[in-house]
Amino acid sequence: AGFIKSPLSQKRLTQDSVELYCEAIGNPIPEIQWWFEGNDPNETYAQLWDGARQDRVKINATYNLHSTSTISIANLTGDDSGMYECRASNDPDRNHLSKSPKVKWIRSQANVFVIERPEIATQVTESSGKLTLSCNMSAPHPTITGHKWIHRNNVVEQDETSGGFTSYTINGKREEHSGVYECVYEANPQIRGQVNISVPPQVTAYKKSEHGNEGDTGVLTCKNPSFPAVTTWSWYKSGHGVSAGNASGRYIIKSSGNKTELRILKLDIEQDTGDYFCNGTNSYGTGDATVNLRVRSRLAALWPFLGIVAEVLVLVTIIFIYEKRRKPDEVPD
């Protein structure tokens, strides 16, 4: 038996998770076990199993053409620091309680360091049309080589300074720039802090005025692009002062965190024309928008159509009469 891939030593922060990966070949296929030795001087190697340490340890092993095993430990604590060993053997007597195996278990080690997660104090300040987000990391912390700010999976700012304090300035108001921002400290390991700009829902109508044909289905849409997402949507209607729900059976409301759709089946010119209000609520407040619906009569396009057809007939008649009067004896080809 021999190792194709050995586990790698890593540094992690508390509350993070770590994954160690080990691969071995042999004939017959070897078995892989994970053993751990803590940093205490008196500690000796003890085996890890799937579900150990209050179910924080997960071991996933496959034994196809060769053996692979992945151990992952979630929610790390300082006591998880130490030496992790991947052991493999294909000796049939390897787990025998009394006999000692002919061939020893081969071992590969990896060191896992769990460092206390430094505290990051985050802050959002707003002044004179600018927003300033800041992260301040308290000592002790590993050596920092640079900072990055990430918003919606884009890197919006980065530098290579080494301080524990980093800030990012945006021009505008809170309502326009809501969302999740991450301040990333480049170090070993990488440390991330999260700054949220939270606002009440900035609800807007997809289209301020909508049209629908009589008898068709009308769709009114409102959206909320801001953070955090809306927890409750509701629709109201003026002109009748009735709160639109699923009462009449003609209304269907489909909502998600950032969009809501009100569908009205079998539009009626009198009943359904008017202003509709959509209202969205989250833990920071509410917001609403107005959508105006106009229902067209089925025959609305008919009058312009007939008018234009009449005009065309008149023009063609005039042209032919003019031609006949100019040359009454011409026989066309």
Partner 1 sequence: SPAMPAPGPPDGGWGWVVLFGAFVSIGFAYAFPKGLAIFFKEIQDFFGTSYSEIAWVSSIMLATTYGAGPISSILVSRYGSRPVVMFGGLLCGLGMVSAAFCTSILQLYICVGFITGFGLALNLQPSVIIVGKYFLKRRPIANGLAMAGSPVMLCTLAPLNQFLFDNFGWRGSFLILGAILLHCCVAGALFRPIGAGTARVKTHVTEEVKDALKGKITEDGPMENKTEEEGGKDCFEKVNQYLDFSLFKHRGFLIYLIGNVLMFLGFFAPIVFLAPYAKHMGIDEYSAAFLLSILAIVDMVARPVTGIIANSKWVRPRIQYFFSFAIAFNGACHLLCPLASSYTGLVVYSSFFGLAFGMVCAMLFETLMDLVGAARFTSAVGLVTIAECCTILLGPPVGGILIDTFGDYKYMFIKCGAVMVLAGTFLFIMNYYNYRMLAKEEKERRTKEEDLKSVRTENEGTKDSTQDGLELEPLREKGEGVKKEMNDT
Q: Which stretch binds partner 1 (CB under 8 A): 91-99, 100-108, 282-290, 295-303?
A: 295-303
Minimum CB–partner distance for residue 32 and partner 1 (Å): 42
List of residues 6+ apart from 282 with CB closer than 8 A: 200, 201, 228, 229, 230, 231
Q: Is the distance from CB of 145 to CB of 156 less than 8 angstroms?
A: no
271 binds partner 1 (CB under 8 A): no
- The CA distance from 287 to 279, in Å, is 6
Nearest to 228, CA basis, from 284, 188, 154: 284
Minimum CB–partner distance for residue 154 and partner 1 (Å): 14
304 binds partner 1 (CB under 8 A): yes
156 binds partner 1 (CB under 8 A): no
How many residues belong to the chain?
Answer: 333
Q: Among 75, 242, 301, 324, which residue interacts with partner 1 (rule: CB under 8 A)? A: 301
Q: Which two tokens stand for residue 223?
A: 């959206």
Could you give the string, one character per residue 190-229, with x where binding to partner 1 holds by CB under 8 A and - elsewhere?
---------------------xxx----------------
Please name the amino acid found at residue 96.
H
- Our CB check for partner 1 shows the closer of 46 and 309 to be 309
315 binds partner 1 (CB under 8 A): yes
312 binds partner 1 (CB under 8 A): yes
Minimum CB–partner distance for residue 4 and partner 1 (Å): 36
328 binds partner 1 (CB under 8 A): no
Minimum CB–partner distance for residue 328 and partner 1 (Å): 14
Give the H/E segment covering residue 322. helix 302-326
**Sign, Cα dihedral of 213, 219, 220, 225:** negative
- The CA distance from 204 to 188, in Å, is 44
- The CA distance from 188 to 140, in Å, is 13
309 binds partner 1 (CB under 8 A): yes
Q: Which residues bind partner 1 (CB under 8 A)?
A: 211-213, 296, 300-302, 304-305, 307-309, 312, 315-316, 319-320, 323, 332-333
